[in-house]
Structure 1
Amino acid sequence: MSHRPRAAIVVTGSELVRGERTDRNGPFYAREALSLGLQPERIMIVGDEPGDLEAVLREASDADVCLVSGGLGPTHDDRTVELVARVAGTPLRVDAELEAHIEGVSRAIAERLGRPYADFAPGVTKQATVPEGAIVVGIAGTAPGLVLASGRCVYVVMPGPPGELRRLWPAAVESAPLQSVLARTSAPGRRVLRFYGASESAVARALAEAGGDGDGVEATICARDFEIHVDLVVEPGAESRADEVAEALREPLRRHLFTEDERTIAELVLELCRDRGLRLATAESCTGGLVAARLTDVPGSSDAFAGAIVAYSNEVKTAALGVPAELIDGHGAVSAEVAAAMARGVRERLGVDVGIAVTGVAGPGGGTPAKPVGLVHYHVSAPDGEKGHEFSLAADRDTIRSRATVAALHLARRVLTRSRHEDV
């Protein structure tokens, strides 16, 4: 059992509780806490109702560090600072320097919007009211990031927008209260193994045959994006045991292992193209540009990725990609033959070296007994050769499209590395 300082995470926002938005701050906090040597023990998502938020903050305050996000705005339902102060038993005060800073930002906003500053003034004072003894680590927009030490708990209170939280987080880490906690711990080591084409049960079996985790090694197995991610968290002194566990996983599953670091499949495909001086493009039907989106999510992708043609209709497949109409008539738009023609067509039309194509029946309608919903053909055409594959997955539309996106990228990796023995 870990003896690291414990971190409890509180994410507030009624829109999160109602399911209108997905929490991104809790997972970020947890990853960062673990990397710093803290033990993230729970993530609690709570709405803006003051009683509920106060109860959750009191529960979280038994940890060494309480990481909070949200509720720092100027409106009536932004109560986080007030409630943190109440739980910590600390009075509130107006920070004059902070108030002047927020006022300057607010006046600029008022001028830009053509509104009187008086509309903003109450919110300025509210946002500049902080717990006595809190350290202001920065401001994002008009919301401050705060660190407060109270008893055995250090509170880190950050804005809710993920970009703002992440911008202020490094300063919070460097603050004296949090550093005092981090001085009692050390960052754990980590091993990362990513598999594609192996089942979760096969990975779990390999881990069990290796003796499981323990002895300073904590293993997690997670199915994510149709891949199996294994993370080994390694306590100091357990490096040899971690090496043994990693090798025990690596050996029987080597054909499915595609990386031992945090790079995504899109990053790997782009790097393979860069290493060989190749340019890449996609031709997509049922995925509607999702493969291109994954690739362009990677910063700097433009040096290897040229573009995409979303050819949803048969007419566009013919006009934009040069797929012969008779090929579609003879085999159907969802076929290995059309997928191959799309991949070759995008190479020719966009003047690139590598073409990735996807065509399928994403549903919920449009399926037939011969070509049911969930049937997808995908194909990669590259200078060293081509490879096509298919799958049939009885699932909802989003799942089918996501599966097709990941499968097409992994096929591109296999073709570019000339590794064609994996199951898909």
Structure 2
Amino acid sequence: MTKDLLEPSKPETTSACDRASRTQVTPVSVRGKFLYQGDEKFFVRGATYGAFPPNAAGDQFPGYREAVRDFTLMQNAGINTILTYTVPPIWLLDELHTRGMKAVVTTPWMEYACFLQTARQRDQVYHEVRDGVARCQRHPGVLMYCIGKEIPPPIVRWHGARKVERFLSELCDIARQQDPDRLVTYTNFPTTEYLELGFVDVFTFNVYLHRRDQFCAYLSRLQHLAGELPFVLTEFGQCSFRYGREGQAHFIDWQLEEAFDHGLAGAVVFGWTDPFYQDNCLVEEWGFGLVDRDRRPKPSYAVARRHFQSSQLPRRAWPRISVVVAFRNAERTLEDCLDSLLELDYPDYEVIMVNDGSTDRSAEIMERYPFIGLTHKKNLGISAGRNAGGVHLPGTRRGRCGGTKPGSAG
């Protein structure tokens, strides 16, 4: 038996103590529009990984040596997450974990079939999702589970959007029952953007738009559809065979820049390498990889490294933000509101507090904060308070926050 066959199973023979240590890693969680691991913001800097032709063990992944080489190249590029299209073996998750990397694990099933036609078909999908999550259960190398992706529009229309939404919600519940500490998502795409997916933990979406103005407009729309959920772009890219390697690099450069600029919680480039294995066929006409089939980096690899190794904020100048907090008799909630504004993760903002004739301890609380403070001796109303604050707003972007409700830190 070859070394490539022996070594993948090696991590699974670790001691019970080593296996138990996997569960001691703090899982990634959702806070507002971003992901956190403990107190540190976790920005998804990713690349899709696979699918590959089955290896000698039957998994659609490379052998151990080649995977180690891939992950070393990824680390050098600042990539911290891979997205897989099949459930990875434990040895691969172990290797990711030792490197501080994570995986978005897709539990594959036949989305392009009429899966709600019979109870037997539904039960089969339930089983595949449950089994896929159970195989990776509680592994710290898992960032989140994707319980499905890109159901074709004719299938959604045939079954009905509400029925499909209920079914996907049930799949999310199944995944959470198997692994309560991991995040769960369903990955949508433009032709079924109307699906209401508020039951997922993270809003994930695949977008292939080649014009920058259209891409920017659509990212803004998707942030609106995501609502209060973190938004991770899980597929975007360009074929270097068709557009040239320099063309692919330029394309990925501005798309990553816009992903940062639009406040996404992460971005996953499609894909890591040429070619792509799908439906028992090796598609060799696709050149979407950051590296070629021999793992030689393309110019797009250097572009991804430059973006992924930089800070979480884009290099361009961010606009100055001005926030007006108008309040009256808000002693019960004002402190929480102003505390949250102190914790905002934004490079350039100011806060104007307007005390609209409060008769409680609001004025005393206001004095403890390093913000601009204005006071009306008489109650003039919320609109007058906001207008008074607006006079003092030099910022190019303006927002308001009622002192009777805690502000949301981002």
Greater relative contact order, per chain length (Cα 8 Å cut-off, separation 6+): 2
Establish whether TM, by shorter chain, passes 0.5: no
Structure with more strand by fraction: 1
TM-score bin (small chain): under 0.3
Q: Who wins on radius of gyration, i.e. which is larger? A: 1
Normalised TM-score (structure 2) = 0.26
